[in-house]
Chain A
Amino acid sequence: MSSIVLRQGLVIGESTSDVGDVLVVDGLIAGVGDVGDVPRGTSEIDATGCWIGPGLVDLHTHLREPGREEAETVESGALAGAMGGFTALMAMPNTEPALDNVALVSYVLDRGARTPLDIAVAGAITQGRRGEMLAPLAEMAELGVRIFTDDGIGVQNPSLMRRALEYAKPLGVRLAQHCEDEQLASGGSMNEGSVSSRLGLIGRPALAEELMVLRDIELVRLTGGAVHFLHLSTKRSLDFVIAARDEGLLVTCEVAPHHFTLDETACDQFDPLFKVHPPLRPLSDVEALRGAMRAGSVDAVATDHAPHAPELKDLPFDEAPAGMLGLEHVASLTLEALGSAEASPFEFFSLLSRGPARIAQLRQSDWRVRLSAHGGALRVGEDANLMVFDPEVRWTARSAELHSRATNTPYDGRELVGKVRATIAKGRIVVNEGVLA
């Protein structure tokens, strides 16, 4: 196998950073710091002025395969992810049909193994994500599935959620919940408040999310199970989860880039690009999310990358599907949320790589599904999943330049700071100088 050397970047360990080189040989980190002579034929990447950190890990990617290949495939999503600095993605199970059995999970794992990245798979909690009967969690866990979720919708029935937690606990897996009480959300299409009322759009109140967060925290307390809270969007949701985590309950949470970047007023031109569940919230929540990220109280940033075919985003706002792209812009948006020039690189990699890798149990390689280890400390001997990020370069997001099949980004034309220069996944250069290698 080949060797690669990353030259003169700021190498971001778990708690220290030093300017130096990183040498990769045969898929492993073979040297860090002053690596001296390198083998002949080693590919050189100049990382001067850049951060060298662990490859990013997305806990929440909708790869749409099988069923919606016109919007995204495992392959196109993996390339978009690589452009965004990711070395591992967690494919969400709300495909058509849903990933609720071993055969379908295996299919996506196989597709993933043909991409340059590691594609982990989240299985559905309930059969067909219908919220009625448990899916075969143990069989899927045997295959290496570590996260289960009905994402797109939360498990509405509290009794079923309790049983799922009790069943999952001895399997050593974690349930990830999309928190929104659908009855309270009453089919709404944006945040409930003065903007929705003025626009005549039915609102999804913040309480629909917060009530389910509270319910599931209490179910975790009751069962001793583990819940990962997906895309929390309000200050109160975050406060509840942080308090529960401080109590020692097995809860973790993620925030999505659109929730810490955009607020509900983005919907006021009825552009379905800004429709997402949970919905974009008031500015006060956006600021609270950013504050929590800077304070280190958020476990992970996850994209909720949700590709949709263009014709579906040309429907009226209330009929259009919810969701937006995120993989290719999230690193820049996270840097912005962390304060751009003041951003801590440790927090950056904690939110985008080490935190999510821990939650997804991707810190060790998994031979069953041929996944390597992610979210490392950049020490010799680790699997070489790395990314190089220039935290100063300015650029403009363009939907026409995306690598996803879909184009439903809400950031077209947005000025961004910080860009992925290189992605090394499984010991190979996937992105170099900001383009696919």
Chain B
Amino acid sequence: MIRTIRGKNLLSLENVSREAIVEVLDTAESFVEVNRRSIKKVPALKGRVVASLFFEESTRTRLSFETAAKRLSADVLSLAVASSSVKKGESLRDTIATIDALGIDAVVMRHQSSGAALQVSRYVPHVHVINAGDGLHQHPTQGLLDAFTVRQVLAERNGTSGVESGSELFQGLRILIVGDIRHSRVARSDVAAYVTLGAEVRVAAPGTLLPVDIAHWPVTIVDDFEEALEWADVVGLLRLQRERGSGSFVPSLGEFTRTFGLTVERARRLRPSAVIMHPGPMNRGVEIDSRVADLPSAVIERQVANGVPIRMAVLYLTVAGSKEEVVL
């Protein structure tokens, strides 16, 4: 069990302890304030070099990480490897060795293959590796920012601060995750974060989009999606990859929407206090109706905004690593 991510890699949220997660959330809280300043920059990682290595294109996540690194005053090497060396047949080991030779402290890595970030961490043990999403495996910063957003929203409603509440607001919190769990690295990270923090998690999906070993997950499969909507404090939707809706996993996107989409009618069954989340990018009209996505209880943009302080916290803790208080 990982007790803190200070000075380490962040590859997965499996085996990350509650105290380690709370430490990231609390650190991020202090960076939220930085992002509200007119000069949005602290010198915490001045002189450090963070490489962002996106083998799989993701403008949103890359921008979020690079913004986070820059606000910590790190130098950012941004490499769009998706379009370069790999197509020339370069191995993962050679690609990372080349970038390492330029002198880097951390690498933020997105890859279409599960486990690629862990493999890279073996090749460059002296570099901090932060997984920005690997295949179907994990997307730990998404899991952290989702937990952060939930805590932030609930703390505001209670008139407390997130830091004061620690993980208290998650005790018994009812979270419903809907959609393509099987192929989702976000679901794997979210479930790990929520369950570790003390929430009760249920999942709803067509039979083909549940993982084969769902019986061993620390979650309950809902029998009745409509009823589960009434139960939930938080509803987390997942992106349905369009190729999954072409007949092999679900008969059509339309049928998926009719059975598991968060339509306007279904949204009416939610409790008024229920929080609606989506990691983006959304397929409006597929997993979520456009009007639902724009409800005040949908915190999708806030998730995006929180990506920056969470990634600042992750970079700060892993790269700076020291036990000293955050100097802002």
In the complex the two chains form, is B212's CB within 8 Å of A199's CB?
no
In the complex the two chains form, is B92's CB within 8 Å of A200's CB?
no
Q: Report how far A421 CA is from B113 CA in the complex, Å.
A: 43
Q: State which residues 8-25 of B face A: CB under 8 Å.
A: 14
CB-CB under 8 A from A199, the residues of chain B are 114-115, 137
17 contacts between A and B (CB under 8 A): A192-B212, A193-B213, A197-B211, A198-B213, A199-B137, A200-B134, A200-B136, A200-B137, A200-B138, A200-B185, A269-B115, A270-B115, A270-B119, A311-B93, A311-B94, A314-B94, A316-B135
Given contacts A198-B14, A270-B119, contact A314 B92 (CB under 8 A): yes
CB-CB under 8 A from A269, the residues of chain B are 115, 118, 122
Q: Report how far A193 CA is from B135 CA in the complex, Å.
A: 17
CB-CB under 8 A from A194, the residues of chain B are 212-213, 216
Q: State which residues 187-211 of A face B: CB under 8 Å.
A: 192-194, 196-203
**Residue ID in chain B nearest A194 by CB atoms:** B213
Within the complex, which residue of A192, A193, A200, A314 is in contact with B114, where a contact is CB–CB below 8 Å? A200
CB-CB under 8 A from B188, the residues of chain A are 198, 200
Is residue B111 within 8 Å, beta carbon to beta carbon, of the partner chain? Answer: yes
- Residues 242-259 of A, flagged 1 when their CB comes within 8 A of B and 0 if not, give 000000000000000000
In the complex the two chains form, is B213's CB within 8 Å of A317's CB?
no
**Residue ID in chain B nearest A193 by CB atoms:** B213
B235 vs chain A, min Cβ distance (A): 23
B218 vs chain A, min Cβ distance (A): 12
Is residue A315 within 8 Å, beta carbon to beta carbon, of the partner chain? Answer: yes
Is residue A182 within 8 Å, beta carbon to beta carbon, of the partner chain? Answer: no
- Residues 58-78 of A, flagged 1 when their CB comes within 8 A of B and 0 if not, give 000000000000000000000
A184 vs chain B, min Cβ distance (A): 13
Given contacts A198-B14, A199-B137, A200-B136, 16 further A-B contacts (CB under 8 A): A193-B212, A194-B212, A194-B213, A197-B212, A201-B114, A203-B212, A270-B114, A314-B92, A315-B91, A316-B111, A316-B113, A317-B113, A317-B114, A317-B115, A318-B135, A319-B113
Size band of the interface chain A makes with B = 20 to 34
Within the complex, which residue of A201, A311, A315, A319 is in contact with B136, where a contact is CB–CB below 8 Å? A201
Within the complex, which residue of B92, B122, B185, B211 is in contact with A316, where a contact is CB–CB below 8 Å? B92
CB-CB under 8 A from B135, the residues of chain A are 200-201, 316, 318
> Interface of B with A (CB < 8 Å)?
14, 91-94, 111, 113-116, 118-119, 122, 134-138, 185, 188, 211-214, 216
Q: Report how far A316 CA is from B119 CA in the complex, Å.
A: 7
> Interface of A with B (CB < 8 Å)?
192-194, 196-203, 269-271, 311-312, 314-319
In the complex the two chains form, is B92's CB within 8 Å of A315's CB?
yes
Q: Report how far A192 CA is from B119 CA in the complex, Å.
A: 21
In the complex the two chains form, is A197's CB within 8 Å of B213's CB?
yes
B305 vs chain A, min Cβ distance (A): 27
**Residue ID in chain B nearest A267 by CB atoms:** B115
A407 vs chain B, min Cβ distance (A): 14
CB-CB under 8 A from B138, the residues of chain A are 200
CB-CB under 8 A from A202, the residues of chain B are 136
**Residue ID in chain B nearest A312 by CB atoms:** B91
Q: Report how far A286 CA is from B16 CA in the complex, Å.
A: 31
Q: Report how far A319 CA is from B91 CA in the complex, Å.
A: 10
In the complex the two chains form, is B119's CB within 8 Å of A317's CB?
yes
Q: Report how far A401 CA is from B157 CA in the complex, Å.
A: 65
**Residue ID in chain A nearest B91 by CB atoms:** A314
A92 vs chain B, min Cβ distance (A): 25
CB-CB under 8 A from B93, the residues of chain A are 311, 314
In the complex the two chains form, is A318's CB within 8 Å of B213's CB?
no
Q: Report how far A316 CA is from B134 CA in the complex, Å.
A: 10
Q: Report how far A271 CA is from B185 CA in the complex, Å.
A: 19
**Residue ID in chain A nearest B138 by CB atoms:** A200
CB-CB under 8 A from B114, the residues of chain A are 199-201, 270, 316-318
Q: Report how far A193 CA is from B94 CA in the complex, Å.
A: 32
Q: Report how far A330 CA is from B216 CA in the complex, Å.
A: 35
B113 vs chain A, min Cβ distance (A): 3
Interface centre among A200, A203, A269, A271 (most CB of B within 10 A): A200
Interface centre among A192, A201, A316 (most CB of B within 10 A): A316
Q: Report how far A194 CA is from B134 CA in the complex, Å.
A: 18
CB-CB under 8 A from A318, the residues of chain B are 113-114, 135
CB-CB under 8 A from A271, the residues of chain B are 119
B288 vs chain A, min Cβ distance (A): 24
In the complex the two chains form, is B213's CB within 8 Å of A316's CB?
no
**Residue ID in chain A nearest B181 by CB atoms:** A197
B309 vs chain A, min Cβ distance (A): 27
CB-CB under 8 A from A201, the residues of chain B are 114-115, 135-137
CB-CB under 8 A from B113, the residues of chain A are 316-319
**Residue ID in chain B nearest A317 by CB atoms:** B115
**Residue ID in chain B nearest A313 by CB atoms:** B91
Q: Report how far A193 CA is from B137 CA in the complex, Å.
A: 14
CB-CB under 8 A from A311, the residues of chain B are 91, 93-94
CB-CB under 8 A from B212, the residues of chain A are 192-194, 196-197, 203
Interface centre among A196, A203, A269, A315 (most CB of B within 10 A): A315
Interface centre among A198, A271, A319 (most CB of B within 10 A): A198
CB-CB under 8 A from A319, the residues of chain B are 113
**Residue ID in chain B nearest A192 by CB atoms:** B212
Interface centre among B111, B113, B136 (most CB of A within 10 A): B113
Q: Report how far A319 CA is from B213 CA in the complex, Å.
A: 23
CB-CB under 8 A from A315, the residues of chain B are 91-92
Q: Report how far A198 CA is from B14 CA in the complex, Å.
A: 9
